[in-house]
Amino acid sequence: MTTNGAGTAERDAEKVWSALDSFRIEVPSWGFANTGTRFGKFVQGGAATSTEEKFADASQVNQLTGASPTVALHVLWDLPGGKADVPAIQALEKKYGVKSGGINPNLFQDAEYKYGSIANPSKEIRGLALKHLLDSVEIGKALGSKDVSLWIADGSSYPGSQSVRRRIEWMREVLGATHAALGPDQRMLVEYKPFEPYFYHTDIADWGMALDLARNAGPKAKVLVDTGHHYQGTNIEQVVAWLLHLGELGGFHFNDRKYADDDLTLGSIDPYQLFRIFHEIVSAGAKEREGIAFMIDQSHNLKGKVEAMVQSVVTAQELYAKASLIDQEKLVELQDSCRLVEAEECFRSAFWQDVRPLVREWRIARGLPADPLKALAENGYVEKITKERGSRNARSVSTYA
């Protein structure tokens, strides 16, 4: 190898190691539980049947990857007793070595929300939704969680059946009151989704609507981008670039999709898209990307729960490492001189580079398994939890999570 080649290899290794040292991606508690489709639940023998088992699985993922020290919690599924359950969660944090991450309120499960939650025509039901949001904020404060992550499932399925404009004001009122309750270190992340469960209009259908609601609520509210929740052909990295430019990007829910839903493991369909998104973040200034929360939001119906989560974290690490290898100075020079082919080659050559050897070296140096999926297959964890939980899962008739 030439001296120049050796120097390039050293620089690449330094970039990848630095990127991996800073990269953290949260795992969701519900990703370890039994889930399914609209037609039914698919039970897995090793699926988590309690919040403690979710923490145990999240801990296993972090031990294998070194990138997931926090686990997102769903209030009704993980803290059914509300703030009274906080001491139990804190005990699990201590026992399993992973902390609570984003707090996710549930404004879609209860029968009262049939016609909406914070956009419901009933002032009483909007009040119930607000109370749940305020309770979720207090849970976050008690657990030291930074983010309260909101998915508002409200909408309508028939033209004329609801007032789109009045619902905007109702949402603004509730989100403003929620923002006012946030602690000094808390944020409120507003997610958007073009459709589902309603099919005429969704109250927060795109990033512009989410941005308006966040800005109206206050400076601690930011936009959350779910990579699956976009129309076909949407240039998601352009959305990310705009939100970065505006200082309004709060975080991500990462997953993948082929058609409409978003429950496939990230990078399984279009890894180049996630690479392009990471490029926008890596190329942004340190201040612009400060505080961006990376989280996985997936429902593993066919793949094993823990295996799929490890695979997802590993894929995210590799794609983030690839994005870190783009020669940003050279790329800007080529872009500014409109040398289109050379610019594209500079960009995509990083995507085609096999970073797995560098990632493997980083893992070994950090005391992690060189191959997390192989280590999981060999350490007996999946067999152990399948044996321990199998009988409970066989009897499982519980709800979604």
SS (H, E, C) the chain: CCHHHHHHHHHHHHHHHHHHHHCCCEEEHHHHECEEECCEEECCCCCECCHHHHHHHHHHHHHHHCCCCEEEEEHHHHCCCHHHHHHHHHHHHHHHCCEEEEEECCCCCCHHHHHCCCCCCCHHHHHHHHHHHHHHHHHHHHHCCCEEEECCCCEECCCCCCCHHHHHHHHHHHHHHHHHHCCCCCEEEEECCCCCCCCCEECCCCHHHHHHHHHHHCCCEEEEEECCCCCCCCCHHHHHHHHHHHCCEEEEEECECCCCCCCECCCCCCHHHHHHHHHHHHHCCHHHHCCCEEEECCCCCCCCHHHHHHHHHHHHHHHHHHHHCCCHHHHHHHHHCCCHHHHHHHHHHHHHCCCHHHHHHHHHHCCCCCCHHHHHHHHCHHHHHHHHHHHHHHCCCCCCC
Share of residues in the chain with pLDDT > 70 (%) = 97
127-169 pLDDT, tens digit per residue, is 999 999 999 999 999 999 999 999 999 999 999 999 999 999 9
Is it the case that residue 396 has pLDDT exceeding 80?
A: no
Write the pLDDT tens digit of every residue in 295-332. Answer: 999 989 899 999 999 999 999 999 999 999 999 999 99
Amino acid 287: pLDDT: 84
Angle at 30 between CA 55 and CA 117, to 5 degrees: 130
Summarize pLDDT for 61-93 with one digit per residue, the tens: 999 999 999 999 999 999 999 999 999 999 999
CATH number (domain holding residue 271): 3.20.20.150
According to the model, what pLDDT value does residue 303 have? Answer: 94
pLDDT at position 399 is 46
Residue 28 has what pLDDT? 98
Tell me whether residue 378 is in a domain: yes
> Containing domain of residue 86, as a range?
12-394
Tell whether the model's pLDDT for residue 357 goes beyond 50.
Answer: yes
Mean predicted lDDT score pLDDT of the chain: 95
- Is residue 278 assigned to a domain? yes
In a domain, 292, yes or no: yes
CB distance 92 to 55 below 8 Å = yes
Tokens of 168: 């905007």
CA dihedral sign, ordered 187, 210, 128, 202: negative
pLDDT band at residue 401 using 50, 70 and 90 as cut-offs? very low
In the predicted structure, residue 1 carries a pLDDT above the cut 60: no
Residue 229 predicted with pLDDT over 50: yes
- The answer to whether residue 4 sits within a structural domain is no
> How many domains in the chain?
1
- State residue 397's pLDDT score: 53
Mention every residue, 6+ apart, whose C-beta is less than 8 A from residue 16.
Answer: 321, 324, 325, 355, 358, 359, 362
Give domain status of residue 68, yes or no: yes
Write down the pLDDT at residue 244: 97
Task: List beta partners, residue 26.
Answer: 295
Q: What is the pLDDT of residues 3-53, one digit of tens each?
A: 456 778 899 999 999 999 999 999 999 999 998 777 778 899 999 999 999
Whether residue 197 is contained in a domain is answered as yes
Q: What pLDDT is attached to residue 4?
A: 55
Return the sign of the alpha-carbon dihedral for residues 42, 47, 52, 56: negative
d(CA 67, CA 53): 19
Instruction: Give domain status of residue 3, yes or no.
Output: no
Q: Does residue 6 form part of some domain?
A: no
